[in-house]
Chains A and B, each alone.
Chain A
Amino acid sequence: MATMSSAEPTRRDFLYIATGVVAATGALAATWPLISQMNPDASTIAAGAPIEVDLSPIAEGQVIKVFWRSKPIFIGHRNKKEIDAARAVDWHTLPDPQPDQKRVKEGHDQWLVLIGICTHLGCIPIAHQGEYDGFFCPCHGSQYDTSGRIRRGPAPLNLELPPYEFVTDNKIKIG
Chain B
Amino acid sequence: MSGHSTYQPQSAFMKWMERRLPIASLVHSSFVAYPTPRNLNYWWTFGGILSFMLAVQIVTGIVLAMHYTPHVDFAFKSVEHIMRNVNYGWLLRYLHANGGSMFFLAAYIHMFRGLYYGSYKEPREVLWILGVILLLLMIVTGFMGYVLPWGQMSFWAATVITNLFSAIPGVGEAVVGWLWGGYAVGNPTLNRFYSLHYLLPFVIVGVVVLHVWALHVVGQNNPTGIEPKSDKDTVAFTPYATAKDSFLIAVFCILLAWFVFYMPNYLAHPDNYIPANPAVTPTHIVPEWYYLPFYAILRAVPDKLLGVIALAASIAILAFVPWLDTSKVRSARYRPLYRQFFWVFALVCVGLGWLGAKPAEGGYVIAARILTTYYFAHFLIILPLLGRYEKTKPLPNSISESVLKGKGAAAAIAILAVALGILTGISTRASAAEAEHPPRQKWSFSGPFGYYDRAQLQRGFKIYREVCQSCHSLELLSFRNLAEPGGPGFSVAQAAAVAAEYMIKDIDDQGNATERAGRPADSFPKPFANDQAARAANNGAVPPDFSVIAKARTYERGFPWFVFDMFTQFQEQGPDYIVAVMKGYGEKPASMTMPEGMQYNSYFPGNAIAMPQPLQDGQVTYDDGAPATIDQYSKDIAAFLMWAAEPHMEARKRIGFQVMIFLIVLSGLLYFTKKKVWTDVHGHA
**B-binding residues in A (CB < 8 A):** 1, 3, 12, 15-16, 18-19, 22-23, 26, 29, 33-34, 36-39, 41-44, 46-47, 49, 54, 57
Q: How far is the CA of A19 from the CA of B662 in the complex (A)?
A: 12
Chain A residue numbers with a CB within 8 Å of B87 are 33, 36-37, 39, 41-42
Q: Which B635-685 residues sit within 8 Å CB-CB of chain A? A: 662-663, 665-666, 669-670, 672-673, 676, 680
Contact B670–A36 (Cβ < 8 Å): no
A22 lies within 8 A of B665 (CB): yes
Question: Told that A23-B669, A42-B484 touch, could you supply 14 new A-B pairs with CB distance under 8 A?
Answer: A12-B676, A19-B669, A19-B673, A22-B666, A29-B662, A33-B92, A34-B92, A37-B89, A41-B67, A43-B85, A43-B478, A43-B521, A44-B85, A46-B478
> Which 3 A-B residue pairings sit nearest by Cβ, starting from the closest?
A33-B88, A46-B521, A19-B669
CB distance from B437 to the nearest CB of A (A): 38
B519 touches A49 (CB 8 A): yes
Is B92 within 8 A of A1, CB to CB? no
Contact residues of B with A, CB < 8 Å? 59, 63, 66-67, 81, 84-89, 91-92, 239, 246, 478, 480, 484, 509, 519-521, 662-663, 665-666, 669-670, 672-673, 676, 680
Residues of B with C-beta under 8 A to A22: 662, 665-666, 669
Most buried by B among A15, A19, A44: A19
From A3, A43, A46, B680 is in contact (CB under 8 Å) with: A3
Evaluate contact between A1 and B89: CB separation under 8 angstroms.
no
CB distance from A75 to the nearest CB of B (A): 13
Contact B673 A34 (CB under 8 A): no
How distant is B504 from chain A, measured CB to nearest CB, in Å? 13
Contact for B666 among A15, A23, A34, A54, CB less than 8 A: A23
Q: How far is the CA of A27 from the CA of B670 in the complex (A)?
A: 14
Q: Closest residue of chain B to A2, judged by CB?
A: B680
Give the residue name and chain of the B residue nearest to A50 (CB): B519
Distance (Å) between the CB of B93 and the closest chain A CB?
Answer: 10
Among residues of B, the one whose C-beta sits closest to the C-beta of A33 is B88
What are 5 A-to-B residue pairs whose CB atoms are below 8 Å? A15-B672, A22-B669, A37-B88, A46-B480, A46-B520
Contact of B66 among A23, A37, A43 (CB under 8 A): A37
User: Inside 8 A of B509's CB, which chain A residues have their CB?
Assistant: 54, 57
Minimum distance in angstroms from A61 CB to a CB of chain B: 19
Whole-angstrom CA separation of A44 from B39 in the bound complex? 56
Are A33 and B91 in contact (CB-based, < 8 A)?
Answer: yes
Closest to A39 in B: B87
Residue in contact with B670 in the complex, picked from A19, A29, A44, A57, CB distance below 8 Å: A19
Min CB gap B617→A, angstroms = 38
Q: Which of A15, A36, A47 has a CB less than 8 Å from the CB of B88? A: A36
B663 to chain A minimum Cβ distance, whole angstroms, is 8
Tell me whether B676 and A41 are in contact (CB under 8 A). no
Min CB gap A40→B, angstroms: 9
In contact, A41 and B86 (Cβ under 8 angstroms): yes
Q: Could you tell me the distance between the alpha carbons of A15 and B509 in the complex, rounded to whole angstroms?
A: 69
Distance, CA A60 to CA B484, complexed state (A): 44
Which residues of chain B have C-beta atoms less than 8 A from A15's C-beta? 669, 672-673, 676
Bound-state Cα–Cα, A44 to B81, Å: 11
Q: Taking each of B59, B66, B87, B246, which has the highest tally of chain A beta carbons within 10 Å of its own beta carbon? A: B87
Contact of A43 among B81, B672, B673 (CB under 8 A): B81
CA A16 – CA B673 in complex, angstroms?
Answer: 6
Report A-chain residues with C-beta under 8 Å of the C-beta of B520: 46, 49
Measured CB to CB, the closest approach of chain A to B403, in angstroms, equals: 24
A34 touches B85 (CB 8 A): no
Cβ-defined contact, B89 with A41, below 8 A: yes
Chain A residues with CB under 8 A of B480 = 42, 46
- A38: contacting residue among B66, B663, B672, CB under 8 A: B66
Complex Cα distance, B676 from A54, in Å, reads 75
Which partner residue on chain A sits nearest B91 by CB separation? A33
Q: List B contacts of A49 (CB < 8 A).
A: 519-521
Known: A46-B478, A46-B480. A37 touches B63 (CB 8 A): yes
Contacting residues, chain B, for A41 (C-beta < 8 A): 67, 81, 85-87, 89
Query: B63 to chain A: closest CB distance in Å?
Result: 6
How close is A105's CB to chain B, nearest CB, in angstroms? 22
Bound complex: CA of A43 vs CA of B86, how far in Å? Answer: 8
Measured between alpha carbons, how far is A18 from B63 in the docked complex, in Å? 31
Q: Which residue of A lies closest to B247 (CB)?
A: A19
Report A-chain residues with C-beta under 8 Å of the C-beta of B666.
Answer: 19, 22-23, 26
B66 contacts which chain A residues (CB < 8 A)?
A: 37-38
CA distance A23 to B671 in the complex (A): 13
A54: min CB distance to chain B, Å: 7
**Chain A residues with CB under 8 A of B680:** 3
Docked pose: A136 CA to B662 CA in angstroms:
58
Contacts of B663 in A (CB 8 A): 26
> B490: shortest Cβ distance to chain A, in Å?
15
Give Cα A57 to B672, complex, Å: 76
Q: In the complex, A15→B668 CA distance in Å?
A: 11
* Residues in chain A near residue B673, CB distance under 8 A: 15-16, 19
Q: Which residues of A contact B81 (CB under 8 A)?
A: 41, 43
Residues of A contacting B84 with CB < 8 Å? 42-43
Chain B residues closer than 8 Å to A38, beta-carbon distance: 66
Find the B residue at minimum CB distance from A1: B239
Query: In the complex, are the beta carbons of B59 and A34 less than 8 A apart?
Result: yes
Complexed CA–CA distance, A57 and B480 (Å): 32
Closest chain B residue to A32 by CB distance?
Answer: B88
Residues of A within 8 A of B91 (CB): 33
Output the least CB separation between A115 and chain B (Å).
Answer: 21
Closest to A12 in B: B676
User: Roughly how many angstroms separate A29 CA and B665 CA in the complex, as a whole number?
Assistant: 15
Residues of B within 8 A of A3 (CB): 680
Cα(A15)–Cα(B669), bound, Å: 7
For the complex, what is the distance from the CA of A142 to the CA of B628, rounded to whole Å? 69
Chain B residues with Cβ under 8 A from A19's Cβ? 666, 669-670, 672-673
Q: Using Cβ atoms and an 8 Å threshold, which residues of chain A touch B670?
A: 19, 23
Q: Chain A residues with Cβ under 8 A from B519's Cβ?
A: 49
Query: CA of A3 to CA of B669 in the docked complex: distance in angstroms?
Result: 20
Closest-by-CB residue of B relative to A23 is B666
Distance A1 CA – B677 CA, assembled complex (angstroms): 10
**Across the two chains, which residue of chain A brings its CB closest to B238?**
A1
Once bound together, how far apart are the Cα atoms of A41 and B670, in whole Å?
37
Whole-angstrom distance between the alpha carbons of A12 and B676 in the complex?
A: 7
Q: Closest residue to A53 on the B side, CB-wise? A: B509
A16-B673, A54-B509 known; A37 and B86 CB under 8 Å?
Answer: yes
- Would A18 and B669 count as touching, CB distance under 8 A? yes
A47-B85 Cα distance, complex, nearest whole Å: 12
- Please, how many angstroms separate the alpha-carbon atoms of A37 and B276 in the complex? 27
With a CB–CB cut-off of 8 A, which chain A residues contact B63? Answer: 34, 37
Q: Which residues of B contact A39 (CB under 8 A)?
A: 87
How far is A34 from B520 in the complex, measured between Cα atoms in Å? Answer: 27
